[in-house]
Amino acid sequence: MPNFVEPISTTMQNINIHSEIGTLKGVILHTPGQEVEKMTPENAERALYSDILNLSVASEEYRQFKELLQKHCSVYEVKELLADILKNDDVKEKLLESVCKAEGISSLKTKLTGLNNTETARQLIEGVELIRDNLTQFLSNERYSLRPLHNFLFTRDASISLYNKVLIGKMASNVRDRESIIMDAIFQHHPYFNVETISATGQNSGNIKIEGGDVLIARHDVIVIGTGIRTSTQGIDFIIENIKKEHAGLHHIIVQELPESPESFIHLDMVFTMLDKDTCMVYEPLIMTHNRYRTIHIIIDNGRVKSIQTVPNLLSALKNTGIDLQAVKCGGNDTWHQEREQWHSGANFLAIKPGVIIGYERNNYTAEALSHAGFNIVKANDLLKNKQKIPESKTLITIAGAELARGGGGARCMSMPVQREMVDW
């Protein structure tokens, strides 16, 4: 049997994600490795980072996050899933062909094919250093023939669990395209995942962009999607066409426009996440105050677009669907604190069951706002050291994030749920 990271269950049922808050049963993570250490101030911007991370500190912080999730549900590691599927020679051949073709490095395929599966998986994620054995490569300014995947710890983006299928994202930057290729191969070939994938990566239109940080399933019939620098309107149209084709009945697509800057607004889940059936976290200046960023409500009825119109804001659109949410403000009521804490993923939370959420310890004013909204505040380390059970009632479980937050994402960004229990609405 494949050697996974002590999942609670040794079998995975079909993909089942119909909400943001249903009790989490299975999740895919990628523990940050040497690919993080291979960032420099020179290549950080190209790698979509504004800073470089200290791996030893980030690893200890991530350990809390991973162990907390292992305490609650089945946890699967990308690198181990990848090594598993590479045991199949045909899968290995096709995957390496796809990667090498996409990145224009056909000469590297033989080398990667000859490695054992664990090493191939490692190099596909951590990168392959350039061998300077000819003039072109000797004069190259590149250090790697296969660049490290610095962003892969944010497993949310490259693949998106959409009901009982997985949507393979079309990344906004080609430095992340390999993440989508790897996740597509895992879902197509790993025996733990009996699922059909929907791929946006093979579409002809270069304007299609879809990343998972922008896609939130509010309820089984309501999807909220951000559009900005990472997810295009054409990408959302791709999702709409899939909903029209695959799903009968009434569906709501609520689209929130996002600013192009600052970079902390890259995804919708950096300004809005659901915490419970009746509670959400918002970055107030964008979500609740009057501004130039529109909210559009699209209603799909039995395979056709019934209506599409601009609405006052995201919360009013959700209320029109019967989801009436109390908004907790990231950073509290002070605009200065709101801006500071949103920058460090203060609006980005992962719900592991209705009302039980994970977020960064460093965002003190956001935690205080949650406390005022009725949430208990518990440190992950205290739960782990004292071997306490995961709480059942409204609770914020805080993980250390002084280093991880500088990577530009929070608990939701670092997790790709594959199974949740249904929510009784």
Q: What is the DSSP string of 52-79?
A: ---HHHHHHHHHHHHHHHHHHSEEEEHH
Claim to verify: residue 63 and residue 139 sit in the same structural domain: no
Query: Is residue 64 located within the same domain as residue 122?
Result: no
Q: Considering the domain boundaries, does residue 6 fall inside one?
A: no
For residues 57 and 403, the answer to whether their CB atoms sit within 8 Å is yes
Single residue among 146, 164, 182 that ends a domain in this structure: 146
| Domain of 134, in residue numbers | 85-146
Quote the Cα angle for 7-11-17, to 5°.
85
**Integer Rg of the chain from CA:** 21
249: left (phi over 0), alpha (psi -120 to 50) or beta: left
- The reply to whether 373 falls in a domain is yes
Cα distance between residue 299 and residue 367, in whole Å: 35
Q: End of a domain among 128, 146, 164?
A: 146
Residues 40 and 119 in one domain: no
Q: How many domains does the chain have?
A: 2
- 111 lies in the same domain as 69: no
CA dist 4 and 7 (Å) reads 7
In terms of domains, do 250 and 132 share one?
Answer: no
Q: Is residue 9 part of a domain?
A: no
Beta strands in 194-289 (DSSP E): 196-199, 215-219, 222-227, 250-257, 272-276, 279-282
141 & 118 share domain: yes
Q: Would you say residue 17 lies in a domain?
A: no
- Residue 37 has what pLDDT? 85
Instruction: Report which of 140, 120, 118, 115 is spatially closest to residue 130, judged by C-alpha positions.
Output: 140
Residue ranges in the chain modelled with pLDDT below 50: 1-10, 44, 46-49
Question: Residue 396's domain is classified under what CATH number?
Answer: 3.75.10.10
Assess whether 200 and 109 both reside in one domain: no
| Euclidean distance between CA atoms 396 and 412, whole angstroms | 14
Say whether both 67 and 97 belong to one domain: no
Whether 2 is in a domain gets the answer no
204-227 burial, b at 16+ Cβ within 10 Å, e below that, comes to eeeebbbbbbbbbbbbbbbbbbbb
The whole-angstrom separation of Cα 95 and Cα 417 is: 23
Q: Same domain, yes or no, for 160 and 34?
A: yes
Is residue 56, in this structure, part of any structural domain at all?
Answer: yes
In a domain, 134, yes or no: yes
Look at residue 7 and tell me if it is in a domain.
no
Q: At which of 146, 162, 190 does a domain end?
A: 146
- Residue 284 and residue 139 in one domain: no
Task: Answer yes or no: do 61 and 140 share one domain.
Answer: no
Report the predicted TM-score, pTM, of the whole model to 2 decimal places. 0.93
Together in a domain, 347 and 199: yes
Q: What is the pLDDT of residue 203?
A: 55
> Roughly how many angstroms between the first and final C-alpha of the chain, as a whole number?
38
